[in-house]
Chain A
Amino acid sequence: MGLLTDLRDSISRVVDRLFSESEPKRIGIYGPPNAGKTTLANRIARDWTGDAIGPESHIPHETRRARRKENVEIERNGKKVTIDIVDTPGVTTKVDYKEFLEHDMEKDDAVRRSREATEGVAEAMHWLREDVDGVIYVLDSTKDPISQVNTMLIGIIESQDLPVLIFANKIDLEESNVERITNAYPQHETVELSALEGENMDEVYAKIAEYFA
């Protein structure tokens, strides 16, 4: 019996090591539409691999399928982590094609975009359940962070015990208010940044290396 227990323990140790060392962690970049998820994903991917992940746009729901960049090695302060970055479609409870019409889009295209965006949200939720080991939650710091979507998603993430970092993006904009985010989600570490301008990326990478190692 003791032998069996020992054997089981040693097997689980080996398995643990396999997962912790050789298997890159899959980090999902989540958040509402237009928070800057793809801009951040591209910034990280470019900084560490030289490639981008996907097209960025000021029109919401530009990312309608989850995109992945594998084996991104991030090293900071002596800590090194290898992650797969998953850039996910913006999560929302409502998609309306009329929103896209304001961006000079034809109705047919707007309706199609709307449908794809809806499917994208479904996909993002599915990834959250099945396929991520950690989450970077991106918020636009110029907007009110307390919304149904944010509360619900962060609640789900917490319920899964996934490590999560909250990124307060767009600090280059005047209306940015990081404190609002810090106060809204005091239980999580908030890192401020501008993915577009590359502000405070040192801290971003240090936190990623620390949190997801």
Chain B
Amino acid sequence: MPHQCTTCGKVFPDGSKEMLSGCPSCGGNKFQFQPASSAGGTPADAAGGSDDTPTQRGAGTRDLTSSAADAVRERATETESRPDTGDEEVTVSDWVNSKRESGASADAARPDSSRASSTDAPAGPASRSPNDPASDSPSAPSGESSSDDSSRGWGEWPTAPNSPSETEPEPPRGTTAGEAAGSETAGSSDHAPHIRARETDEDTSQRSARSDVVTPEELAAAGAKHRESTERTEPGVTASDRNETPDEAEASAPQTAPPDVDGTTIEPSSDERPDLDQLREELNDQFESIKIVNPGQYELNLMELYDRDEYIISLREDGRYVIEVPDSWGPGSRED
């Protein structure tokens, strides 16, 4: 489902990283899923007859919502009784170290101004960071696409349920074409310890999320490239495939654009408000650090929270959610 800024109405594709730094148009940080009834904007509509993969996904995603919620609860109760093991002690620090090293090199490769400039305006190829999905994918490190919870620092956090994931792709982790490609060259996992797998599994999405805001052109390019390169669909990428481009979406957005800046008073103009369970599932799929199981019930991935610069999400009970951007994190803002 596409996201929509509740301030100016700008629409962002599924899995968009653009919005993680706040709305580039108005700077707002409150979003909602674009109401399904807005003209032509739904993934299913956009997918139409052009590509059957997104259509499958669209249907599957709806199936996923109920079963996933059940599975989440099941897994949560299962893991509650599971004794904690001490063996994470070593791997946690190793992992952090290795991640920080790679993070540092990614930072070093990035011009300081890249975030600011790409946030302000969708620039041309010149602003492309070395880490963006399109340029990253050919040289992306290979690794197994691990679904092992603990290997990603999740522990008690259930990832996508097993049964639907056999027929469905993994939850989106951003536009990481390289990740999917890498997962097919499974040979490397023989000599790569878990830590490595973890690093590569996380890094392509994390790094790209952290490093730069992708431009719509890049999203589209990554999507097209990915579709050519592999049949195995990686949701973050196909998400952009099956949506209209942001520009087109923007054109259709004004009719749903809320008039008010204060998110708490805005209601979606559509009568067909998406089911809250479905919204929650979508959010969980698209962002990893805080999982909203139910209203007032959360599961947190401490590693993700520790690692990420960008944001936390808070889901309002009316289906809106807030993304905190790094600028609002300064120590000054936290003083009492």
Residue positions of A touching B, CB distance < 8 A = 65-68, 91-98, 107, 110-111, 114-115, 118-119, 121-123, 125-126, 128-129, 131, 146-149, 151-156, 158-160, 184
CB proximity of B42 to chain A, nearest CB, Å: 29
B304-318 interface bits toward A, Cβ cutoff 8 Å, 1 = contact, 0 = none = 011100001011010
Q: Which A-chain residue is minimally distant from B301 (CB atoms)? A: A93
B302 near A159 (CB under 8 angstroms)? Answer: no
In-complex Cβ contact of A147 among B84, B299, B317 (8 A): B84
B88 near A111 (CB under 8 angstroms)? Answer: no
Q: From known contacts A65-B336, A154-B89, infer whether A94 and B296 are also in contact, taking CB-CB under 8 Å.
A: no
The residue among B76, B90, B298, B317 with the most chain A CB atoms within 10 A of its own CB is: B298
In-complex Cβ contact of A94 among B156, B303, B306, B334 (8 A): B156
A66 near B296 (CB under 8 angstroms)? Answer: no
CB proximity of A7 to chain B, nearest CB, Å: 25
B305 near A125 (CB under 8 angstroms)? Answer: yes
B312 near A119 (CB under 8 angstroms)? Answer: yes
Q: Cβ of B300 < 8 Å from any Cβ of A?
A: yes
A129 near B306 (CB under 8 angstroms)? Answer: yes
Query: Roughly how many angstroms separate A120 CA and B89 CA in the complex, as a whole number?
Result: 24
A151 near B290 (CB under 8 angstroms)? Answer: no
B334 near A66 (CB under 8 angstroms)? Answer: yes
CB proximity of B177 to chain A, nearest CB, Å: 29
Which residues of chain B are near A114, meaning CB under 8 Å?
A: 296-298
Q: Cβ of B137 < 8 Å from any Cβ of A?
A: no
Which residues of chain A are near B298, meaning CB under 8 Å?
A: 94-96, 114-115, 118
Query: Roughly how many angstroms separate A131 CA and B332 CA in the complex, as a whole number?
Result: 12
With A121-B305, A151-B92, A159-B100 known, 11 other A-B pairs at CB within 8 A are A68-B335, A94-B297, A95-B296, A95-B300, A97-B297, A118-B300, A119-B314, A122-B305, A131-B331, A148-B88, A155-B96
Query: Roughly how many angstroms separate A123 CA and B305 CA in the complex, as a whole number?
Result: 8
The residue among A151, A154, A184 with the most chain B CB atoms within 10 A of its own CB is: A151
A92 near B300 (CB under 8 angstroms)? Answer: yes
Q: Cβ of B157 < 8 Å from any Cβ of A?
A: yes
Residue positions of B touching A, CB distance < 8 A = 76, 84, 86, 88-94, 96-97, 100, 153, 155-157, 289-290, 295-303, 305-307, 312, 314-315, 317, 329, 331, 334-336
A156 near B295 (CB under 8 angstroms)? Answer: no
Query: Roughly how many angstroms separate A196 CA and B155 CA in the complex, as a whole number?
Result: 33
Query: Roughly how many angstroms separate A146 CA and B89 CA in the complex, as a whole number?
Result: 10
B336 near A94 (CB under 8 angstroms)? Answer: no
B156 near A93 (CB under 8 angstroms)? Answer: yes
The 10 A-B residue pairs with the shortest CB-CB distance, nearest first, are A155-B92, A97-B296, A111-B296, A159-B93, A159-B96, A125-B305, A122-B312, A114-B296, A118-B298, A125-B306
Query: Roughly how many angstroms separate A154 CA and B307 CA in the complex, as a whole number?
Result: 15
B296 near A128 (CB under 8 angstroms)? Answer: no
B336 near A125 (CB under 8 angstroms)? Answer: no
Which residues of chain A are near B86, meaning CB under 8 Å?
A: 146, 151, 184
Which residues of chain B are near A152, meaning CB under 8 Å?
A: 88, 92, 153, 155, 302-303
A93 near B96 (CB under 8 angstroms)? Answer: no
Query: Roughly how many angstroms separate A115 CA and B315 CA in the complex, as a whole number?
Result: 8
Q: List 20 A-B contacts (CB under 8 A).
A: A68-B335, A68-B336, A91-B302, A94-B297, A95-B296, A95-B298, A96-B297, A97-B296, A114-B298, A115-B314, A119-B314, A121-B305, A122-B312, A129-B307, A148-B84, A152-B88, A152-B153, A152-B303, A158-B93, A159-B97
In-complex Cβ contact of A122 among B91, B290, B303 (8 A): B290
Which residues of chain B are near A154, meaning CB under 8 Å?
A: 89
Which residues of chain A are near B307, meaning CB under 8 Å?
A: 129
Query: Roughly how many angstroms separate A121 CA and B313 CA in the complex, as a whole number?
Result: 12
CB proximity of B102 to chain A, nearest CB, Å: 14
Query: Roughly how many angstroms separate A126 CA and B88 CA in the complex, as a whole number?
Result: 21
The residue among A146, A152, A158 with the most chain B CB atoms within 10 A of its own CB is: A152
Query: Roughly how many angstroms separate A128 CA and B92 CA in the complex, as a whole number?
Result: 15
In-complex Cβ contact of A67 among B76, B89, B302, B336 (8 A): B336
Which residues of chain A are near B156, meaning CB under 8 Å?
A: 93-94, 148
Q: Which A-chain residue is minimally distant from B326 (CB atoms)? A: A126
Query: Roughly how many angstroms separate A170 CA and B320 CA in the complex, as a whole number?
Result: 41
Query: Roughly how many angstroms separate A149 CA and B300 CA in the complex, as a whole number?
Result: 10
